[in-house]
Amino acid sequence: MDKIAEFRTIVDHPYLYLQKLKDQTGKKIVGTVCSYAPEELIYAAGALPVRLFGSDSGIHRADLHLQSYCCSLVRGILEEALSGKLDLLDGMVFPHTCDSIQRLSDVWRLNLVKPFHADVVLPVKLSTPSALQYLLDVLKKFKTDLERGLAQEITEAGLIHAVKIYNAIRAQMKRLYQLRCENPQVISGQDFHTIIRAAMIMERETFLEDLAAIIVELTKTASEKKPSGTKRLVLSGGICSHPDIYDAIETAGGVVVDDDLCTGSRYFEGMINENLPPLTAIAKRYAERASCPAKHAGLTNRGEGLLKMVKDCKAEGVVFLLLKFCDPHAFDYPYLKEMLDRKKIPSLLLEMEEQTQAGGQLQTRLETFIQIL
Amino acid sequence: MNDDKFDFLKTLGIYLFGQAKKFSLRFKKSPTMKDLMMVYYSEAKSARLTGKKVAWITSGGPVEPLIAMDIIPIYPENHGAMIGASKMGAGLCEKAEAMGYSNDLCSYARSDIACATVNGGPIGGLPRPDMLVCCNNICGTVLKWYEVQARYFNVPLFILDTPFCHTGYSEEAARYVRAQIDEYILFIEEACKKKYNFERLRQVGHLSYEGQQLWQAVLDTAAHRPAPMSAFDAFYHLALIVTLRGTQEAVNYYQQLLSTMKDRVARGISVVPNEKYRLLWDNIPIWPRTRWLSQKFASHNACLVADTYTSAWCGAMKYIDESKFLDSMAEAYTRIYLNIGVDEMAKMVIEMIDKYDVDGFVLHSNRSCKPYSFGQLDIQRIVEKERGIPCLMIEADMVDDRSFSESQISTRIDAFMEIIKERRFKFK
């Protein structure tokens, strides 16, 4: 599909795309590092929020600031910044999530001069009234910070428009998830992943238009593609920077039908209520959507969510895709696995380094796992 | 004999032992740390006989509201340190790994999580909690760790969320934390099924403040040349300001310790014989190797006179208003050493370098503690630039001895001390 090929070019060379966009439209680009970045606000300030994923080449500049036991996502992002690749950014937004991102913000502030640097210190709890009040206060403050930092007023109308665009993207993505769940043959894992990554980079209105076109096309061809009897899997974890994993799963006779990933459903899940004041509604979505393990929304919410996902999409197994040195996910893994075990749902743990390629050993492990399903 | 009966008798034994010890301390002029810790743990471990509640709490958490309601606070991190010091860390960490916890996770958390399931470790496990209090002012790890324990023990968990202060304490954070202090009080009332005693909290607040002042005064004595105590002594004496902050016992203990240190200063007694070089330590101790490290540095006539770790329990005193303890507590607990930006941490390090007049800075890059360790390289650079003193970074782990490479670290310490010695020679 042409659109997806275009997306792939953008995902493979995001900075070329962004530089071109900047040159042509003068749009400001703001980097973010987490799915809790309030993108609607950045978008309403006339800037394009871009989720950073770090370098895929060797990390050495970042070694001067972060030890080797820091995850490769955080080290990789710093590496790109220090190497000058991110000079095109007009600002950086650091939502408070894990200890590593928290210190990345400090290191960034001390070593890289950016026109605009914002810490969005969100609450860790998402389940109490005082936390929700604080969350709203933080969003209000972030709005002021953005307006000052980007010298651009955020109007009520602008905010409502941003919410509409983001909601429309989320609605389309939900449709895409449904399509894949109904018949995983409609789109390859690689292509699916490409769309998700493009959603975090591209000018959002352009993306929305293209996405809608892709979905129309997929819906049309869906009936022609017969389900192939492959094993249905759910991916769970943090970020997936290894699109190769999808090929490896498909080669091994499996197919991903849903995910609980930061580069996946957690980014798109939940609509913003358009009948509420925009900031209140944005805060509400954070409180209600599936949480990152660095946030607290109850003791077993993530486990229950995973079980429901497996049931709803009729998956036969779960593959945990954990980034090495990602503490919040590593802490949740034993209890999630135990909850799956109790329901007799098989799971496989894959610990990934950012640069890990889907090699022979990975392939064998996937094949062995998929065979027992 | 069935298990319940055996368990009861064991608990009774622990209780009687603790009470006997407590009674004997009445006749002892200055109880030792070991005496006090024995009484503390035996009272905690026999709490179900005496009907007292036990709360597990994070090391940076506000303990005063618990103490004021006679709840016994238990510190899994202190337990982690004991596990590390008794060299039982590697075994328990391996057990946690077998349970599915990655060996890259915090070794306090790993050893505690493993220990809870087997009642192992140096004191046969911690007493079962009636509630859990988790304050994330030290790290995000404690949140995950306490979630694990809340699921395991099936007891209520209170989370005191202290927003990170990258560049200051925001108004909205102040409101949020203050509101949570009230929620904390309600949580305690609920757990104890009785009205909160605010009068008692005022007294506990005063004692806590007094204890912190005394602890700071004890640490300050090491500014004297030669130092009467080292950071290794501080690591040992720290236990009470962590666990029994807000009690008369802690105040008495540190008064006694302060007078001992003052006496040593007056008589010119140094903890390291022939103290020639003075060093500052950063990060949590390498518990299984404190003795080895202490001897290693002493062999170079070097004394670790101060550290950023033990001073963290009195570092936010400037924010406490004794007359408004409950209100000021919110700020003091939010602005502690680990919950602030790297630049502010570097500033505090430089203040310590000047105050204790040190010749070098030793940083423990602690695989277990990301918020303490990430940013150290920048702090090191700032220190080198601002004060020009040699710095040494040692990569190890606070509990898990498998991460300690003795020969490599020994060589690096020798080389570091050579630089310090040459530098001294040049400047003289």
Res A254: pLDDT? 96
- Kindly list the domain boundaries of chain B, sorted by start residue: 3-196, 202-427
Does residue A223 sit in helix, strand or coil? coil
Residue B167's pLDDT is 94
Q: Give the closest residue to B111 by CA, choosing from B137, B134, B79, B72.
A: B79
Residue in B closest to A62 by C-alpha: B377
> Does residue A137 carry a pLDDT above 80?
yes
Query: Is pLDDT larger for residue B198 or for residue B4?
Result: B198
Rounded Cα gap, residues B388 and A122, in angstroms: 38
Contact check, Cβ <8 Å, A335/B106: no
Enumerate residues 6+ apart whose C-beta is below 8 A from A184: A227, A230, A232, A255, A256, A257
> From CA B328, how far away is CA B318, in angstroms rounded?
10
Minimum CA–CA partner of A96 in chain B: B164
Give the pLDDT confidence of B194-250 residue by residue, as tens digits.
999 999 999 999 999 999 999 999 999 999 999 999 999 999 999 999 989 999 999
Contact B378 A123 (CB under 8 A): no
Contact criterion met (CB < 8 Å) for A327 and B173 = no
For residue A103, the chain B residues in CB contact (below 8 A) are: 342, 370-371, 374-375
| B341–A327 C-beta distance less than 8 A | no
* Residue B428 confidence class, pLDDT cut points 50, 70, 90: low
Query: Would you say residue A366 has pLDDT above 70?
Result: yes
Q: Which pLDDT value is given to residue A355?
A: 56
The domain B202-427 having CATH identifier 1.10.10.10: the answer here is no
Å between B26 CA and nearest CA of chain A: 45
Strands (E), B236-299: 277-282
ipTM of the complex: 0.96
- pLDDT for B189 equals 97
For residues B162 and B172, what is the distance between their CA atoms, to the nearest angstrom?
A: 11
Question: Which of B136, B144, B395 is the closest to A331 by Cβ?
Answer: B144
Q: What is the pLDDT of residues B276-293, one digit of tens each?
A: 999 999 999 999 999 999
Integer-rounded Cα radius of gyration of chain B: 21
Average pLDDT, chain A: 94
CA dist A202 and A192 (Å) reads: 15
* Angle in degrees, 0-180, between the axes of helices A189-199 and A2-12, rounded to the nearest 10: 60
Residues A260-296: tens digit of each pLDDT = 999 999 999 999 999 999 999 999 999 998 889 999 9
At B8-57, the pLDDT tens digits run 888 888 898 889 988 888 888 888 988 999 999 999 999 989 999 999 99
List beta partners, residue A93: A32, A118
- CB proximity B192 to A under 8 Å: no
Q: Check residue A355 and report its DSSP letter.
A: T
Residue B313: the pLDDT is 87
Q: Report how far residue A231's alpha carbon sits from residue B294's, in angstroms, rounded to the nearest whole number.
A: 58
Please state which architecture CATH assigns to domain B3-196: 3-Layer(aba) Sandwich (3.40)
Nearest to B182 by CA among B163, B158, B204: B158
User: pLDDT over 70 for what percent of chain A?
Assistant: 97
Q: Summarize the confidence of residues B59-85 as an average pLDDT.
A: 95
> Is pLDDT of A356 > 80?
no
Q: What pLDDT, on the 0 to 100 scale, is given for residue B323?
A: 82
Q: Which is nearest to B312 in space by CA: B137, B141, B166?
A: B137
Q: Which residue do the tokens 């009861």 mark?
A: B8
Chain segment A7-39, per-residue pLDDT in tens? 999 999 999 999 999 999 999 999 999 999 999
Q: Does B341 touch chain A (CB under 8 A)?
A: yes
* The pLDDT of residue A358 is above 80: no
Considering only CA atoms, give the Rg of chain A.
20
Q: Does B93 touch chain A (CB under 8 A)?
A: no
Q: What is the pLDDT of residue A208?
A: 98
SS3 content of chain B, % helix, strand, coil (to 5): 60, 10, 30
Give yes or no on whether B3-196 and B202-427 have one common fold: yes
Give A353's pLDDT tier (boundaries 50, 70, 90): confident
Is residue A76 pLDDT above 90, yes or no?
Answer: yes
pLDDT at site A354: 56
pLDDT at A228: 73
Q: In this complex, do A99 and B183 lie within 8 Å of one another by their Cβ atoms?
A: no
DSSP A344: T
Max Cα-Cα span within chain A: 58
Dihedral (C-alpha) A74, B97, B113, B1: value to the nearest 10 degrees?
180
Confidence of residue B1 (pLDDT cuts 50, 70, 90): low
